[in-house]
Amino acid sequence: MLIRPRRLRKNTIVRDMVAETQFSKNSLIYPFFVTSGTKIVNPINAMPGVSHFSIDELVREVDSCIKMGLTKFLLFGVGEQKTDDASSACDERSIVFNAVKKLKQTFGNDIYLITDVCACAYTTHGHCGILQNDDVQNDLTVPVLAKMALSHAQAGADMVAPSDMMDGRVLAIRQLLDANYFQNTAIMSYAIKYASGYYGPFREAADSAPTKGDRQSYQMDYRNANEAMREALLDESEGADILMVKPALAYLDVIHRLNLESNLPIACYNVSGEYAMVKYAANAKLIDEKRVVMENMYAFARAGASIVITYHAKDIVNYKWI
Ligand code: PBG
Ligand code: ZN
């Protein structure tokens, strides 16, 4: 007698029945780049299908997303006012602050709004923290991040997502939020963020490339996975609600391992370079976009991510790929 696993692959119905991994639009978070001005929809060359939106246009875009069943959004500010101390990030001067306010006024709890918390869009030098002697100062940066997170919460953000990789910022953010009665504002930590070449298109899109130096002194070395677990478990102990791994495709092993080592929900960020590779290859008719995108989404889910932040989100729901 032969054992024949192929028997269960013979038709779609039985394949669907025995599929071990499920993926639905509940898992999707859609990132947006918001800019100042009005009536602006500026396509980003490096990321086909992604644009900068002014707040008025973003309201329309979010409305159309809600109608398709997308409800969770991650906001990045573009063209923010830049200073050495990133002070404009912490009050109503910031574009993100105003976007959150407007979106929450308009859509209330029909959407779940997440904001990126990092200094790089607000510093003249483009680093993710406060610089002294060409070195990003962890302990000078942490209070700025906490103030930034608080201002986003005051604007109405449901969740803040610190992406800077400073040590101790999750605890500082949690304490400041709690002290100001924002106990229900959640924290999704970019817990494991590697120093990656895959952020290239984003840095063009968000105008956040460092003017000199690189981010290797605070982002992680991709040769390390044990260190990744140490970093992530620290964020868990500091009060993070969700742990994120970034980028996603080259780090499926890290997602898998983190899901085994932590009991928190795991998110992954399918970053700009990963997106651009798929889009450019699909536009050149080298790959079938739908097949490749869904293969990637299921890979994230199979690895252990229950949440996927991806620029493909609108295409996935718009074209009814799931
Ligand atoms: C900045 C930030 C980056 C991304 C999200 N927040 C870029 C970086 O660290 O250089 C990358 C997102 C993407 O590539 O899609 N803190
Ligand atoms: Zn940054």
User: What pLDDT tens digit does each residue of the chain (322 aa) get?
Assistant: 999 999 999 999 999 999 999 999 999 999 999 999 999 999 999 999 999 999 999 999 999 999 999 999 999 999 899 998 999 999 999 999 999 999 999 999 999 999 999 999 999 999 999 999 989 999 999 999 999 999 999 999 999 999 999 999 999 999 999 999 999 999 999 999 999 999 999 988 887 888 888 999 999 999 999 999 999 999 999 999 999 999 999 999 999 999 999 999 999 999 999 999 999 999 999 999 999 999 999 999 999 999 999 999 999 999 999 9
Q: State residue 205's pLDDT score.
A: 85
What are the DSSP calls for 128-194, one per residue? SS-EETTEE-HHHHHHHHHHHHHHHHHHT-SEEEE-S--TTHHHHHHHHHHHTT-TT-EEEEEEEEB
Tokens 């912490």 correspond to 90
141 lines ligand 1 (CB under 6 A): no
Is 54 part of any domain?
Answer: yes
116 lines ligand 1 (CB under 6 A): yes
Output the CA 271–ligand 2 centroid distance in Å: 14
Which ligand is nearest the CA of 277, by number? 1
Q: Does residue 61 sit in helix, strand or coil?
A: helix
For 270-301, what is the HEC assignment? ECHHHHHHHHHHHHCCCCCHHHHHHHHHHHHH
Nearest protein Cα to ligand 1, atom 5: 163
CB atoms near residue 3 (< 10 Å): 6
Q: Nearest-5° angle of CA 196, CA 145, CA 266? A: 55
Is 16 part of any domain?
Answer: no
Q: State residue 212's pLDDT score.
A: 87
The DSSP output letter for 91 is S
**Distance between CA atoms of residues 262 and 308, nearest Å:** 17
Is 118 part of any domain?
Answer: yes
Is 243 part of any domain?
Answer: yes
Which ligand is nearest the CA of 190, by number? 1
pTM for the structure as a whole = 0.97
Number of domains in the chain: 1
Is 218 part of any domain?
Answer: yes
Q: State residue 147's pLDDT score.
A: 98
**Best mutation site among 199, 308, 310 for ligand 1 pocket (most ligand atoms within 8 Å of CB):** 199
Which ligand is nearest the CA of 89, by number? 2
Q: Using alpha carbons, list the distances in angstroms from residue 299 to 120, 147, 253, 295.
A: 30, 36, 11, 6
Is 33 part of any domain?
Answer: yes
Q: State residue 208's pLDDT score.
A: 81
Output the CA 285–ligand 1 centroid distance in Å: 28
- Read off the CATH number of the domain in which 225 is found: 3.20.20.70
Tokens 């080298």 correspond to 286
120 lines ligand 1 (CB under 6 A): yes
Atom index in ligand 1 nearest the CA of residue 202 equals 14
Range of the domain at 104: 27-318
Cis ω on the peptide bond leading into residue 43 (within 30° of 0)? Answer: no
Is 295 part of any domain?
Answer: yes
**Distance between CA atoms of residues 188 and 173, nearest Å:** 11
